[in-house]
Each structure stands twice: as C-alpha cells, then as structure tokens.
C-alpha cells in the first residue's frame, strides 16, 4: 500500500497523470489532472485500488481529499470511477453540506451517480464527514494564502487565532486581517 509518491509530472491527460519517481513512471488517475503542471515536482497522496484483474493508483494533492475518496469507496455501490467523479468537486464543504442535508439532487449532478447511489451516499456518510471536510477547507485556505505569497510558518501561526469552522472565504478574510495588523 502506498501513502504518497513524490515525483515529477511527465504527462497530463484528461483522465490521468504520469508521475516519474526514480525513473519509474506511475500512471495515476486523478479528479482534475489539469491542476498538475508538466516538469514540476509534486507530492501526490495515493490510494491503491486492487481488484483481481486490475491494480490502479488514484492520486490527490491533499491527504484530506484522498481520505474523502476512501470514505466514498466505502459506500455500497460506489466504485473508484464514481468516487473520482464526485471528487471533482471544487469545495469539499459543498459536498459535505449536501450529504448532511440529504440533498440527493446535488449528488446526482456528478456523472455516474443516480438517485439510488445518491441516497446510499447520504445514508452511509451522513454525520461522518465533518472532520475531513474541515481539514480540506483548512488546506484550501493554506493554499490560497501561499498563493498570495505568505510562508507556511506565518500561515500556521495565523490559523491558530482564526475560527476554522467558518466558511473558506471568511477564514481567509480573518487570516488576512490578522496578518495585516
């Protein structure tokens, strides 16, 4: 079982990436391959899916998104292809909110997810995603602040003084207020 692969992206396609590590190219299925840029190094959090006729790698930029993917795989009737289509969601909090509110209409907007699958996701995961969605939200905030040029150390210090239960935009606003004091 793999936890992550750190390597250089050599290929990006609509369905997967190829990450080279020690002269081995790993084909990794990912929800949005175009987040990766060729010839840049990334740490990709991996889930290895094993069936009798296939071994596949699924990769994510954040550990929390990988963990959410694994939780989706635990839902009866949801396989890797369906779980990967759900993971294309930009904001994991939207997904959590839909599950907590029983919003099957939102879930059926993803390819391969019908009413029956949406209902099963809600039944199996309601009340079990709060921690992973909150962690993903904090990861999104860290990435946004890094993109604005702040160091990881500074961001870590600031987030200790911010209410991370707010929505992503509010957390960023609060963090920026603290930074700019």
The predicted pLDDT at position 26 comes to 97
The predicted pLDDT at position 141 comes to 82
Q: According to the 3-state scheme, what is the secondary structure of 59-104?
A: EECCHHHHHHHHHHHCCCCCCHHHHHHHCCCCCHHHHHHHHHHCCH
Per-residue pLDDT tens digits for 66-76: 989 999 999 99
Q: From the CB of residue 123, how many other CB atoms can be counted at a distance below 10 Å?
A: 12
Check whether residue 120 and residue 80 sit in a common domain: yes
Domain that holds residue 143: 132-179
Quick one: pLDDT band at residue 130, thresholds 50, 70, 90?
low
Give the end of a domain, one of 42, 60, 78. 60
Check whether residue 120 and residue 153 sit in a common domain: no
Check whether residue 52 and residue 95 sit in a common domain: no
Three-class DSSP category at 141: helix
Per-residue pLDDT tens digits for 158-172: 888 888 777 778 888
Check whether residue 69 and residue 120 sit in a common domain: yes
**How many domains is the chain built from?**
3
Check whether residue 74 and residue 125 sit in a common domain: yes
Whether 17 has a pLDDT exceeding 90, the answer reads yes
Whether 133 has a pLDDT exceeding 80, the answer reads no
């Amino acid at each position: 079982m793999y936890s992550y692969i750190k390597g250089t992206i050599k290929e990006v396609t609509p369905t997967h990436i190829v990450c080279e590590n020690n002269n081995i190219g790993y084909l990794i299925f990912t929800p949005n391959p175009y987040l990766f840029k060729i010839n840049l190094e990334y740490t990709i959090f991996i889930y290895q899916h094993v069936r009798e006729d296939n071994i596949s790698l699924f990769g994510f930029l954040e550990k929390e998104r990988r963990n959410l993917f694994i939780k989706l795989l635990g839902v009866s009737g949801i396989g890797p292809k369906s779980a990967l289509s759900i993971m294309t969601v930009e904001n994991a909090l939207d997904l959590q909110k839909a599950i907590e509110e029983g919003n099957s209409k939102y879930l059926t907007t993803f390819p391969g997810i019908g009413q029956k699958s949406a209902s099963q996701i809600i039944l199996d995961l309601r009340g079990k995603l709060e921690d992973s969605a909150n962690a993903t939200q904090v990861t999104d905030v860290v990435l946004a602040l890094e993109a604005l040029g702040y160091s990881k150390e500074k961001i870590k210090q600031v987030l200790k003084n911010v209410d991370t239960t707010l929505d992503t935009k509010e957390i960023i606003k609060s963090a920026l207020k603290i930074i700019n004091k």
